[in-house]
Chains A and B, each alone.
Chain A
């Protein structure tokens, strides 16, 4: 029957949707730029065409807006995938890099690198963020394990509630650490910049960032697609996955480390953005079902579109001012999540 097959109907929709979103992200902003001009600038840059365009427009389009839209797409896709993977492996509908303290840990790591002045290149920031993310995840899992072990024996299904509580504790701890580092070591100007970045900010993004974000997001997507059947096999828990031939420990470690790494890269560029990893996978499950052959690509696409959209909104919602993108995602995400919770209850 057809619904089992990796049914790729609708797949052809992805590239045009993504292109349209990227174009919109490039066209809309404080100064609106026509699609015609954008296409000319792109042709000039990509194929060396020689259309006459305004130099300033060309600069805005190529150096600021397009790179920004690309990073937004990568970031949205990655955070959504991290949510998909954590939810599948931990058998917990609330698992998400933000709720579990991974994003908070990554922020702490990145801020420590910034303040310590270890060369604020994209790579060193990402490395710091990854160290922080790994530390936070490790602590959260240890705490959850300890909290649930007398009865649960550390089985992931029983640790479900514990891991969220541990995540809250972990987030608080790392946010406090970040605040401490800023207060202790950053000067006033640094502090203002960091606080703005912490809430999620794409203003400083350039092509150098895109050059890191793009391979990270694509790598994350490929790893998830490659292991889509393993992710499916966790439907009834880790024991059931093992009985169907999944090498549970190595695969779980690989996928979680990959997602922590990808999350860290994104957080080090744009700060901690909430709700993407939570809302997008749940919304996509309603639309394409929970099989990862479809859920993984659908979530990556929806995450990318969502964050490009949120970035556009962050630029136009308050005229003359750019809101942190994390504020926009939370303003949309929190009610959306509430809706999903309520609908999920009435039709479990």
Chain B
């Protein structure tokens, strides 16, 4: 399913956090969002997930404006992994993942065997099956992150929004989560700080000061000039063993 945004703006207390952002993500694509801290990535993802009403513009899910859809229907298509989401509740890993089934359950549709199977699979996908019975507060930061991703997977979304999902993860799990995300036959929008990882996305959007200052193929938008302007760093391209290019950064 494709997701698009038209002229989105968002303001809080007179501060403009997002200005006139338009983008279109095609079905099945992995779309990366990069930008410095405070550039508006999280704000944009929230609007794309239907968590706030944009001050101007609109978000279209498969052609239908989110504003015209019920939250439950949005959640049956879009899942969001927040940058930070904590709880003090005594809750087990498996119960957290099971929350992902919420949009499909109702008073008339009780928890079923297939829900169990979906939750089991999601736990396996993020390599957390062996910790299914652990209490939330006993998990490490990276383990919590993986459980959140499993919860989103249990939602069986057609569009997955990930806000810095590789935060807290060790290098092996960073790579395995990114690989998992790439293999999913769904649309993914992911914010990343590691620009080399961002290079593996199908397309990239670069945020700066609440605006989308570049959209396109990673190699085309992450140019040395752009890196200098937006991130204030200098970059050098190195050739990797398999012919791919790796960036190395220097303080400008």
Bound complex: CA A273 to CA B80 (Å): 41
A232-B82 in contact given A4-B119, A289-B90, A290-B90 (Cβ < 8 Å): no
Q: State how many angstroms separate the Cβ of B73 from the closest Cβ of chain A.
A: 8
Chain A CB within 8 A of B105 CB: yes
Are A1 and B94 in contact, with the CB atoms below 8 A? yes
Cross-chain contact B91 with A289 (CB below 8 angstroms): yes
The answer to whether B155 touches A244, judged by C-beta atoms less than 8 angstroms apart, is yes
- Does B132 reach chain A (CB closer than 8 Å)? yes
Q: Which of B46-54, B165-173, B212-220, B228-236 binds A?
A: B46-54
Q: Are A243 and B49 in contact (CB under 8 A)?
A: yes
* B111 cross-chain contacts in A, Cβ below 8 A: 4-6
**Within 8 Å CB of B78, what residues of A?**
243
Residue-wise, chain A 75-105 has the 8 Å CB interface mask toward B (1 for contact) of 0000000000000000101000000000000
B137 at the interface (CB under 8 A from A): yes
User: B100, A244: Cβ atoms under 8 Å?
Assistant: yes
- B41 CB to closest chain A CB (Å) equals 15
CA gap between A291 and B91 in the complex, in Å = 8
Asked whether, in the complex, the Cβ of B90 is within 8 Å of the Cβ of A244, the reply is: no
- Number of CB contacts from chain A to chain B under 8 A: 93
Whether a CB of chain B sits under 8 angstroms from the CB of A110 is no
The answer to whether B116 touches A243 (Cβ under 8 A) is no
Contacting pair A246 B71 (CB below 8 A): yes
CB–CB A236/B75 < 8 A: no
For the complex, count residues of B whose C-beta is within 8 A of A.
43
Q: Decide if B94 touches A243 in the complex (CB within 8 Å).
A: no
A228 to chain B: closest residue by CB: B107
Q: Identify which of residues 78-94 in chain B touch chain A, using a CB-to-CB cut-off of 8 Å.
A: 78-80, 82, 85-92, 94
Chain B 108-126 interface residues, beta-carbon cutoff 8 Å to A: 110-111, 116, 119
Check: A12 CB closer than 8 A to any chain B CB. no
Task: Provide the residues of chain B in CB contact with A30, threshold 8 Å.
Answer: none
A153–B12 contact, CB under 8 A? yes
Interchain nearest-CB distance for B96 vs A (Å): 7
Question: Provided the pairs A6-B111, A235-B91 are in contact, do residues A245 and B137 lie with their beta carbons within 8 angstroms?
Answer: no
In angstroms, Cα B82 to Cα A285, docked, is 26
The residues of B that contact A242 with a CB separation of less than 8 Å are: 49-51, 71
CB distance from A241 to the nearest CB of B (A): 8
CB-nearest residue of chain B to A242: B51
Given A1-B132, A4-B116, A291-B95, A235-B105 contact (CB < 8 Å): no
A192 neighbours in B (Cβ, 8 Å): none
Which residues of A are interface residues toward B (Cβ below 8 A)? 1, 3-6, 91, 93, 150, 153, 226, 229-230, 232-233, 235-237, 239-240, 242-248, 285-286, 289-291, 348
Q: Are B89 and A240 in contact (CB under 8 A)?
A: no
| In contact, B95 and A236 (Cβ under 8 angstroms) | no
Assess whether B95 is in contact with A233, with CB atoms less than 8 Å apart.
Answer: no
CB closest chain-B residue, reference A232? B99
Question: CB-CB < 8 A to B13: which residues of A?
Answer: 150
In whole angstroms, how far apart are the Cα atoms of A298 and B223 in the complex? Answer: 60
B: which residues have CB within 8 A of A? 12-13, 46, 49-51, 70-76, 78-80, 82, 85-92, 94-96, 98-100, 102-103, 105, 107, 110-111, 116, 119, 132-133, 137, 155
Shortest beta-carbon distance, A6 to chain B, in Å?
7
Q: Are B90 and A4 within 8 A (Cβ)?
A: no
Closest to B137 in A: A348
Report the separation of the CA atoms of residues A227 and B76 in the bound assembly, to the nearest whole angstrom.
18
* Inter-chain contact A4/B95, CB cutoff 8 Å: yes
Q: Please state if A290 and B80 are interface contacts (CB–CB under 8 Å).
A: no
**A239, B46: Cβ atoms closer than 8 Å:** yes
Closest to B96 in A: A235
Given contacts A240-B82, A291-B95, 19 further A-B contacts (CB under 8 A): A1-B116, A3-B94, A4-B119, A6-B110, A6-B111, A229-B105, A232-B102, A235-B89, A236-B86, A236-B87, A237-B85, A239-B82, A243-B80, A243-B82, A245-B75, A245-B76, A245-B102, A246-B72, A289-B90
Determine whether the beta carbon of B99 is less than 8 Å from that of A233.
Answer: yes
Q: Can you list 6 A-B contacts (CB < 8 A)? A: A4-B94, A153-B12, A236-B82, A243-B80, A245-B75, A289-B90
Query: Which residue, of A4, A285, A291, has the highest number of chain B Cβ atoms within 10 A?
Result: A4
Which residue of A has the minimal Cβ distance to B85? A236
Give bound CA distance, A1 to B115, whole Å.
10
B76 contacts across to A, CB distance below 8 A: 245
**Complex Cα gap A241–B95 (Å):** 14
Query: In the docked arrangement, what's the CA distance between A290 and B100, Å?
Result: 16
User: Smallest CB-CB separation from B98: which chain A residue?
Assistant: A4
Q: How far is the CA of A270 from the CA of B70 in the complex (A)?
A: 41
Interface residue from B46, B70, B110 paired with A247 (Cβ < 8 Å): B70
Name which of A3, A4, A244 has the most chain B CB atoms within 10 A of its CB.
A244
Please give me the residue from chain A that is nearest to B90 by CB atom: A290
Distance in angstroms from B80 CB to nearest chain A CB is: 4
Q: How far is the CA of A96 from the CA of B90 in the complex (A)?
A: 19
Contact B98 A285 (CB under 8 A): no
Residue contact A246 to B102, C-beta cutoff 8 Å:
yes
Of A150, A153, A229, A233, most B-chain CB atoms within 10 Å: A229
- Which residues of B are found within 8 Å of A243, using beta-carbon distances? 49, 51, 75, 78-80, 82
